[in-house]
Amino acid sequence: MTVLHWATISPFLLAILIPFLYKYARPIHTGWFVLVLPLVLFIYFISFLPITSDGGVIEYSAPWVPSLGINFTVYIDGLSLLFLLLITGIGSLVVLYSIYYLSKKTERLHNFYVYLLMFMGAMLGVVISDNLIVLYTFWELTSLASSLLISYWYHRKKSTYGALKSMLITVFGGFAMLGGFSLLYLMTGTFSIREIISQVELVTSSSLFIPAMILILLGAFTKSAQFPFHIWLPDAMEAPTPVSAYLHSATMVKAGIYLVARLTPVFGGAAEWFWILSGIGLLTLCWGSISAVRQKDLKAILAFSTISQLGLIMCLLGLGSASLYFGYGTESTVYTTATLAAVFHLINHATFKGSLFMTAGIIDHETGTRDIRKLGGLMTIMPITFTVSLIGTASMAGLPPFNGFLSKEMFFTGVLNATELSIFNMQTWGMLFPVLAWIASVFTFLYCLIMFFKTFTGKFKPENYDVHVHEAPIGMLVSPIILGSLVIIFGLFPNLLAYTLIEPAMAAILPTLLGGDDVFKVHIYHWHGFNPELFMTIGVIVFGTILFLLMKKWAQTTIYLRERDPLNRVYDGTLSGLATGGNKLTSFYMTGSIRHYLIYIFSFLVLFIGFMFVRLNAFAFGGETAPITFFETAIAIVMVIAAIVVALARTRLTAIIGLGAVGYSLATFFVFFRAPDLALTQMVIETVSTVLFLLCFYHLPMFKQKFENVKFKLGNLMVSLGVGILVTMLAISSHNSKLFDSLKDYFVAASYDEAGGKNMVNVILVDFRGFDTLFEILVLGIAAIGIYSMIKLRLAKEEQ
Amino acid sequence: MEILISIVVGILFTVGTYLILSKNITRIIIGTGILSHGVHLLLLTMGGLKQGAAPLLGQEAASYTDPLPQALILTAIVISFGVTSFFLVLAYRTYNVHGTDDMEKMRGLENDE
């Protein structure tokens, strides 16, 4: 366990202390204690920047379950460090924001910060782990923490609904991912990501390549809210806004992106990987941006916007993986632009989406509503919030000079380059990429306009709000201001990021493209000249503005008015269908009737053993048998008649007499078959049992004295006939296939010499196999005690 | 003889199973009694029938029947007697408490706790 290990799990350790801090330091907002940790971690992780910028990596291993190859290995390269800085940096800002957002007096802060720290630790673990199983463990912890945070206000029905939904969907993906990881282990024999990458040809040549890829992508897509698993994200907006800002825009939803980027060296270069990633990404992009336009709630718009931007990043990672197909060389460098854009947009999205969520939270906090139909005219009342929102929205819409503009330009470059790909059937389908991307950008621009103008412009109507509307306290504004400034700084000086973060991250995603000491040379320009990308951007702005101006015309269409995603109906239907279906199935066979259960048991017995009998052709007839004599046959006939009388008896007495007749016939058989002790016992026991039966009947309550006629049930008869025939077959066949001699000779020889007795049966009972007898006595004793207590004990009141 | 007895055993099993599947609790207990008779007879048959004198060394016979199955059956008889008597008293208690001997009425469905 090195310092790095402790740093990774430090949030968990602090989480243990939080309840005590909350209880014993009530005057101070618990958030201040929490704030220290991400700040320290952020500074600590910054100290690794020089190492990764030079292409170095840091790796330490600590054993966890070494016998299974599971070690807690921390591994930092450009990609991990980028995420580590995002998590701790935005984490600090979110904690600061939450200190002002959540009231010390009314909220259960200890819960909130324990969950938040748990999430932070889990997320650090996901991005720092080199071992797939450790990664998976932390991955599920993020799902758990996320659900806890969504249901933070657990008295609200919608919160628990959203938490359950996100849990079900992300854990479904998590399990699929675990399956994929196991397949990777089967192929390579190791859980270490680096070792898997170093023997990637084992993976690519394996028949398990596609299943492993699809299972792992299921995990990544559910976590990163890709189509059609995106439906949990809008419902996760029931969480407190700091949570939405942190988990559902900047960090957790990027865990899937991280996983895809991390495993690109393993799966990248395959056509399936390329198509699934870029196709689903593009679909999510369009679906999310079109859905966002329909929303009336600020956070819902931001949720769908997040979905659409995540789709954009996923699509770019897919396009970028094409470069792996070409390998090291000049041809691939064109396509690495997409990977560059993905990494760059990842950073940009975290900054502007974080700030937008925070401003939305401020508006909610200060006005009491997030409904854009009620909001309006806040520009002069909340000038700082307005400014930060303007920057964030402009960046999201892709306007110069903000960072969103740069990444959008690179995105267009990426999709345009994709049309020139000569692989993976891109000649036929390639043109779809820029067209769909362009349409999605128009809608992105449109919802940015709607969100911004509906909130801040227009006339201020005080009657719309329940509270006195004013600007937020400065403490709440600090975090969005910092993020907004970063939007501008990264927009004006993008190359600050290029050498420090983007190049090492690209080197981690596309390691095989670098020969020797090469590094990616990234330089981001504002001005490319008059190229197609620029005209596409101008087109986006023009069409977006036109659509916004004409909004009154299309705002009344039913499609626009329907806010909820139609896929929710599939989710809800599946869930309730599973519940009712499971209910029906269970109540179909769990009837509570013992008769039914016995029929299942007997039928299974008959069918299973009967099937094996036929299958193995186990019938055996003939062999040595004793001669049939008159007296025995007569007794057999008596016994059969007595048994049938019992079965058909109309009164209880007949049945009991019949049972006695069967018992005495059995005793007679024992006599015939040379078993004197058995005959004696059977005779006595049968007598006592008959007396017991009669005694019991005497004590029966008066009603239902009349013994009911047996309802002739064909089913019962079939089952019992089956059992009878099966037993007869078994008896005959096994009698005729003797595998070895019995122990008879031993008992004959040893009874007198060793045990000193001449009655062999008795010698066996008390000497050779005395333990049987001991416990048989115990059984009788227990039965006696049981009977005594059943008669004597009357615990229930009504019986007293 | 073994084949004949095997058929008798089969009939005992059929009757026992048939009774166990019925609604009335008394018939079920009678069914278990018949079933255990069937099992005992089956055990004896499997050991082989009439292959010599009774297993008493004083007989000075050339061969004896197998004593081991007899010892097993003796144990089984005693145990099944214990269980049957326990069942009987249990049925008696059930009558007392629930006032019915119909298994279909003893389902413990939702209205019954």
Give this complex's ipTM. 0.93
Q: Considering only CB atoms, which chain B residues are within 8 Å of A595?
A: 21-23, 103-104
Contact B37 A675 (CB under 8 A): no
Cα–Cα distance, A177 to A185 (Å, whole number): 12
- Look at chain A and count its residues: 800
Minimum Cα–Cα distance from A737: chain B residue: B46
Contact A636 B8 (CB under 8 A): yes
pLDDT for A41 = 93
Contact A685 B65 (CB under 8 A): no
Residue B38 pLDDT > 90: yes
To the nearest whole angstrom, how far is the Cα of A181 from the nearest Cα of chain B?
Answer: 45
pLDDT for A125 = 93
To the nearest whole angstrom, how far is the Cα of B23 from the nearest Cα of chain A?
Answer: 7
Residue B26 pLDDT > 80: yes
The whole model's pTM is what? 0.83
Minimum Cα–Cα distance from A730: chain B residue: B6
To the nearest whole angstrom, how far is the Cα of B112 from the nearest Cα of chain A?
Answer: 12
Would you list the DSSP string of A230-286? GGHHHHGGGS-HHHHHIIIIISGGGHHHHHHHHHHHHHTTSHHHHHHHHHHHHHHHH
List, for chain A, all residue ranges whose pLDDT scores fall below the cut of 70.
327-334, 421-428, 514-529, 558-561, 563, 699-713, 795-800
8 A C-beta contact, residue A760 and residue A744: no
Q: Which tokens is B29 given? A: 């207990």
Contact B56 A758 (CB under 8 A): yes
Contact A734 B55 (CB under 8 A): no
Q: Considering only CB atoms, which chain A residues are within 8 Å of B50?
A: 626, 672-674
- Look at chain B and count its residues: 113
Determine contact: A675 vs chain B, CB below 8 A: yes
- Return the bridge partners of A371, or none: A297
Would you list the DSSP string of A94-163? HHHHHHHHS-TTTS-HHHHHHHHHHHHHHHHHHHHB-BHHHHHHHHHHHHHHHHHHHTSSTTSHHHHHHH
Q: Which tokens is A92 given? A: 């600090």
Q: Considering only CB atoms, which chain B residues are within 8 Å of A599?
A: 21
C-alpha to C-alpha distances, A310 to A18, A57, A104, A111, A476, nearest whole angstrom: 33, 27, 34, 29, 27
Residues 738-777 (A) with a CB less than 8 A from some CB of B: 742-744, 747-748, 751-752, 758-761, 764-765, 769, 772-773, 776
8 A C-beta contact, residue A20 and residue A119: no
Determine contact: A793 vs chain B, CB below 8 A: no
Minimum Cα–Cα distance from A782: chain B residue: B82
Tally the C-alpha atoms within 13 A of residue A155's C-alpha that lie toward its C-beta.
2
Determine contact: A689 vs chain B, CB below 8 A: yes
Determine contact: A685 vs chain B, CB below 8 A: yes
Contact B10 A731 (CB under 8 A): yes
Contact A735 B23 (CB under 8 A): no
Helix (H) or strand (E) run with residue A19 in it: helix A3-24
Minimum Cα–Cα distance from A621: chain B residue: B3
Return the sign of the alpha-carbon dihedral for residues A669, A670, A676, A681: negative
C-alpha to C-alpha distances, A200 to A195, A197, A220, nearest whole angstrom: 9, 5, 20
To the nearest whole angstrom, how far is the Cα of B41 from the nearest Cα of chain A?
Answer: 7
Cα–Cα distance, A776 to B74 (Å, whole number): 10
Residue A670: exposed, middle, or buried by beta-carbon count in 10 A (0-12, 13-18, 19+)?
buried
pLDDT for A663 = 93
Cα–Cα distance, A386 to A490 (Å, whole number): 20
pLDDT for B81 = 93
Q: Considering only CB atoms, which chain A residues are within 8 Å of B39?
A: none
To the nearest whole angstrom, how far is the Cα of A591 from the nearest Cα of chain B?
Answer: 8
Beta-carbon contacts of A121 under 8 Å, excluding residues fewer than 6 positions away, are: A8, A9, A10, A11, A12, A15, A138, A141
Residue A786: exposed, middle, or buried by beta-carbon count in 10 A (0-12, 13-18, 19+)?
middle
Minimum Cα–Cα distance from A797: chain B residue: B97
Q: Which of A236, A308, A325 is nearest to A274 (CA)?
A: A325
| Tokens 């015939």, residue located | A672
Instruction: Compare CB distances from B83 to A675, A735, A783 and report the shortest one's residue.
Output: A783
Q: Virtual CA dihedral for A587, A589, A592, A594, nearest 10 degrees?
A: 180
Beta-carbon contacts of A354 under 8 Å, excluding residues fewer than 6 positions away, are: A90, A93, A94, A245, A246, A249, A250, A479, A480, A483
To the nearest whole angstrom, how far is the Cα of A593 from the nearest Cα of chain B?
Answer: 6
Instruction: Compare CB distances from A646 to B30, B50, B92 and report the shortest one's residue.
Output: B30
Residues A102-138 as b or e (16 or more Cβ within 10 Å = b)? beeeebebbbbbbbbbbbbbbbbbbbbbbbbbbbbbb
| Tokens 């699509």, residue located | A315
To the nearest whole angstrom, how far is the Cα of B87 from the nearest Cα of chain A?
Answer: 9
Q: Considering only CB atoms, which chain B residues are within 8 Å of A640?
A: 8, 11
Determine contact: A790 vs chain B, CB below 8 A: yes
What SS3 class is residue B24?
Answer: strand
Residues 559-618 (A) with a CB less than 8 A from some CB of B: 591-595, 598-599, 602
Phi, psi for residue A406 in degrees, rounded to 5: -65, -45
pLDDT for A199 = 87
Q: Which of B67, B46, B54, B79 is nearest to A674 (CA)?
A: B54
pLDDT for B88 = 87
Determine contact: A684 vs chain B, CB below 8 A: no
| Disruptive mutation site among A760, A791, A794 for chain B (greatest number of B CBs within 10 Å) | A760
To the nearest whole angstrom, how far is the Cα of B3 from the nearest Cα of chain A?
Answer: 6
Instruction: Compare CB distances from A625 to B2, B10, B73 and report the shortest one's residue.
Output: B2
Determine contact: A706 vs chain B, CB below 8 A: no
Contact B37 A663 (CB under 8 A): yes
Q: Considering only CB atoms, which chain B residues are within 8 Å of A591?
A: 107
Q: Which tokens is A566 given? A: 């139609």
Beta-carbon contacts of A45 under 8 Å, excluding residues fewer than 6 positions away, are: A81, A84, A85, A88
Would you list the DSSP string of A33-51? HHHHHHHHHHHHHHTTHHH
Q: Which of A230, A234, A169, A306 is nearest to A563 (CA)?
A: A234
Contact B23 A692 (CB under 8 A): no
